[in-house]
Chains A and B, each alone.
Chain A
Amino acid sequence: MKRLIFLYLVSAVLLAVSATAENPRDMRFPPLKFEPPEPARFVTDNGIIVYFLEDHQLPVITVEALFKGGSAYDPPDLAGLAEITATVLRTGGAGKRNPEEVDAALDFVGASISSVALNDYLMLDMRALKKDAELGFEVLADLLQRPLMDTAKIALEKSNRQDAIRRQNDEPGGITRRIFYQTVYEGHPYGRFPTLETVGEISRESIIEQHRKYYNPDNCIMAISGDLSPEELKTLLHKYFGQWQRGNMTISALPRAAMNYKPGVYFASKDINQAHIRLGHLGIDNKNPDRFALEVLNFALGGGGFTSRLTGQVRTTAGLAYSVGSYLLNRPLVGSFFAFCQTKAESMSQAIRMMLDIIGKVKDSGITLDEMNMAKESIINSYIFNYATSEQMVNARAFLEFSGFPPDQLKKDLEAYQGVTLEDCNRVASLYLDTAKIALIVTGNKALFDKPLESFGPVTEVSLEIK
């Protein structure tokens, strides 16, 4: 009898073990070991720095070409020049092809080239199937070296840009974003946006000059990945980019951003039933050694989605917003930090008060060890997703050099995140979060707000007049 019971117990225990699924809360895994492939790096005779990662999984190739420059470098009276030049470079015809022929050549084989000007750099992207590699390289090389800058396409692009400016107040999110940057970067190129007038001033000559100044092989870093052998790539580069003349241009450095604005409330009137809110101030540049600790801190504050304080309190507990969080934008000439949310007009002040309290508390008392560990584990465990494909890998490596980082920076980043301590987090919180410097941007309908905006400080009404 006794024995029987014993057996029964054993089998019950075994059953329980085999039938019970593990509780995910208790699961532990060893750190993931991943040695990403190292792209090849070489410099062509005319000075192009090339990064290359061979990958034959899919019959495709990608090229990304980065150039120093960007819209921050626009002359103030020609704001919009870098963007318009980038677009017309792509749309204005090149080499032996008029604009329509360039479009047709790429579209026919499902290849694409895009060209954009961002604040701090210029970038072209090319994607094509392996069988169309020659065509892709040929068109890309023509665009960079022999753009036609068709007059009619310039006129169309200028007119389209002006129309886009006329439409810039259609969406409250766009208004709020624009006013935030115009405010915290007052007097700095990062805070400048094209106007009807500056776009109107842009001439074909200024576009050609912009192209001549920036789009040069010795100002270019290329990231190439895909279904090519090193020999095939070298042949293509030699054939299409071998004759590209050096520019030998010096691009003068821009000043760093400094605080010129008055902290306080900036309000834009729009007849909507939500308040769009963005509040923050200047932040740190992209090489500041404190950026790792600040990233970890920001993750816990509002960057880490549902695990962050802002989402937990404003969304999950109070149900005040669908989208809420904070962002740390580290840029070469001083970045910015901001928190954001959109809430029904009737809970505007409740949401802002909550956000300011959360930021103030983190500044004063820092974060907890659990919050820091969550942030660090997440950043470290998900790091691989930034470099999961060859294209991401090679682009990331090229961008490191472009931004002036050492080649092993990716590894150093990981080590730096691992090394962040709670003391670091709390030190950077009190150093960089500054509630006294906050510019609070609100877009919405004043009449619906739960409390006057004045309760958050002096209010400046920002005109939405289109100039």
Chain B
Amino acid sequence: MKKRMIINWLMAWALMATGAAAQTEMQIPVQQFSLDNGLTFLVVERPTAPVFSGYICVSVGSAHEINGNIGTAHLLEHMMFKGSQNIGTTDYESEKVLMAKEDSVWAKIDEARRQLPYLKINYPDKVAEQEKYIESLQMILDSLAEASSQYVVQNEFDGIYTRHGAAEFNASTGYDHTNYYVSLPSNRLELWFAMESDRLKNPAFREFFTERSVVSEERRLSVENNPDTKLYEQVIGTAYMAHPYKIFWEWQSEVNNLTRQDLENFFRKYYIPQEMTVAIVGNVKLAEVKRLAEKYFGDIPRGTLPEPIYTEEPPQTGERRIDVNYESSPALYIAFHKTAFDSPEEPVFQIIQRLLGDGRTSRLYKALVLDKQTCLDISVGEFPGGELGSEDPGLFLIFAYPKEGVSTAEVEKGVYEELEKLAATPVDEKELTKIKNRIDADFIWGLQSNIGLAGRLASTHLQAQDWQYLLSFRDKLKQVTADDIMATAKKYLIKENRTVATLIPKISGEGK
């Protein structure tokens, strides 16, 4: 029985590998089922090493946040690691009382802070008193947190997974999706179901105010003190006027004012079974996955589908340029508005991305790093990204790092020469074949890791309502022609559609 399963499994993979002739036969042995509440499971049985990966993809991200509450999706993702009403506590009922007190003290702090500007104008002599009042409230908040800690079993959720040998245990917040994943020894399948369903059914956002500080430190580390992301933040923020993709990371000012209630509202609205997909890949059995799925996730009620994002980015009407002064070496980022994942042009963009930036023989690398030697490095990317592209129209980006003594203007000129070539001259068949070969190879390598495959299946299913879109999207990539590339380059990779951000080195102490 076991042997026979292995053979079937291998045959399914082998079909995929027989090359271009067999494209249409290509398959991944995915088994799919849905619970009555609308939660979909995708299962790939791989009878190899005794491990599996569990991946939960939720159809919500930072693009769903509203002004004033920027950072909710990310902070919520952090809070999901705080355990549940069962895990991470010795007495949830007592904890709950203290959390409510914390929240009401925070509300007072918030209110008192709002009065400060008016006091400063009208009653300057009362400002010091008010500040003292805020300080005393802050002390009460700290002492409530201290009191809560007697009931908290710190990091117990993490500790349970860790003790059972978890690997790759983490989560990520994107613009369109939020992902929760972990790999475990295969005999811990039921543990995964118990842990994940528990935090989804009975969340407890304990240690809220310290975690808010942690998220602030994450922003300082990842954005404010990193030249690459600093420039990235600025180019994104300049390219978008209206669409929520415009915020590269949360704003510190908004995170500092989020409340536990904000997170709970967001959680109730978006973390509903119809808006989640689960993928399990590894040494598991479908029947067992089905049984446990019913047992642990079957009682989650359906929710009301949330409103979509209505905002559309208005067309750009001319080139935007921005300088960023920062204590770092020069860099140049160029962004062009592009399409959403379901547009016929999306596969063309992905081919263009490879033509320009994939590997040492790609056009920009060859022209600017190897031939002209004006760049130390150059690469191409898409924002906000995703295997299939983004849910709403994203950006096509070029990241260039000039060599010592070369101006960013010279690099910029070199980049545009390559973009013009793309629009003016059909790409030759050999170059196109190279790219299609690389797509094939990357696809096969992408099947290697359990967690990688689980992530691709879950996010594709959530985005396209069918995991098999992964395969049809790949077919679309392979159907892109030289004419498609010229047409898309002519339409999008043009001056009026671009935003150019230049990092200008600031010597320490300057500009103060």
Contact = CB atoms under 8 A, between A and B. Distances in A.
Contact of A273 (B188, B195, B220, B370): B220
Contacts of B195: 24
A195 interface: no
B10 A319 contact: no
B210 interface: yes
B217 interface: yes
A305 B329 contact: no
Nearest to B449: A389
B285 interface: no
Contacts of B214: 315-316, 319, 321-322
Given A25-B87, A160-B376, A170 B404 contact: no
Interface stretch (A6-14, A107-115, A238-246, A397-405): A107-115
A287 interface: no
B: contact size bracket: 35 or more
B87 A166 contact: no
Interface in B365-409: 370, 373, 376, 401, 403-404
Interface in A191-241: none
Interface string B181-195: 001011110110111
Contacts of B225: 171-172, 272-274, 276, 342
A1 interface: no
B412 interface: no
Given A316-B207, A316-B210, A388-B51, A156 B154 contact: no
B50 interface: yes
Interface stretch (B63-71, B107-115, B163-171, B491-499): B163-171
A344 B214 CA distance: 10
Contact of A32 (B185, B207, B211, B434): B185
Nearest to A376: B163
Nearest to B377: A160
A97 to B, nearest CB: 13
B162 A304 contact: yes
Interface in B174-222: 183, 185-188, 190-191, 193-195, 197-198, 207, 209-218, 220-222
A59 B440 CA distance: 12
Interface in A10-28: 19, 21-25, 27
A374 interface: yes
Contacts of A381: 163-165, 185
Given A316-B154, A318-B210, A110 B437 contact: yes
Given A110-B442, A316-B154, A323 B404 contact: no
Nearest to B217: A322
Nearest to A380: B165
Contacts of B295: 21
B162 A374 contact: yes
Contact of A312 (B154, B166, B437): B154
B217 A272 contact: no
Interface string A304-315: 111100011001
A317 interface: yes
B327 A271 contact: yes
B31 interface: no
Interface in A245-279: 269-274, 276
A33 B158 CA distance: 24
Contact of B441 (A111, A171, A316, A377): A111
Contacts of B509: 271
A317 B188 CA distance: 30
B404 A322 contact: no
A389 B48 CA distance: 8
A188 to B, nearest CB: 30
B221 A131 contact: no
Contacts of A107: 359-361, 434, 438
B163 A317 contact: no
Contact of A21 (B194, B209, B218, B434): B194
A84 to B, nearest CB: 15
A58 B366 CA distance: 32
B448 interface: yes
A455 interface: no
Contacts of A307: 155, 158-159, 162-163
Interface string B312-331: 00000000000000011100
A317 B217 contact: no
Interface in A141-187: 156, 159-160, 162-164, 166-167, 170-172
A226 to B, nearest CB: 11
B218 A389 contact: no
A388 B451 CA distance: 12
B163 A389 contact: no
A274 B105 CA distance: 29
A306 B154 CA distance: 9
Contacts of B442: 110
A172 B328 CA distance: 10
Contacts of A111: 441
A24, A131, A272: most-surrounded residue (chain B CB, <10 A): A24
A343 B217 contact: yes
Contacts of B226: 171
Contacts of B222: 322
B444 A382 contact: no
A122 B385 CA distance: 35
Contacts of A374: 159, 162-163
Given A58-B448, A163-B376, A271-B509, A388 B49 contact: yes
A109 B441 contact: yes
Given A129-B444, A385-B183, A25 B160 contact: yes
Contacts of A389: 48-49, 448-449
B48, B220, B401: most-surrounded residue (chain A CB, <10 A): B220
B441 A129 contact: yes
A42 to B, nearest CB: 25
Interface in A117-157: 127, 129-131, 156
Interface of A: 19, 21-25, 27, 29-30, 32-34, 36, 56-60, 91, 100, 103-104, 107-111, 127, 129-131, 156, 159-160, 162-164, 166-167, 170-172, 269-274, 276, 304-307, 311-312, 315-323, 342-344, 374, 377-378, 380-385, 387-389
Top-8 shortest CB links A-B: A381-B165, A110-B441, A319-B213, A319-B210, A306-B158, A382-B165, A322-B218, A385-B167
20 contacts: A19-B299, A27-B190, A29-B185, A60-B445, A103-B360, A156-B373, A171-B225, A171-B227, A171-B328, A273-B224, A274-B220, A306-B155, A312-B155, A315-B214, A316-B214, A319-B212, A319-B213, A342-B221, A377-B165, A382-B166
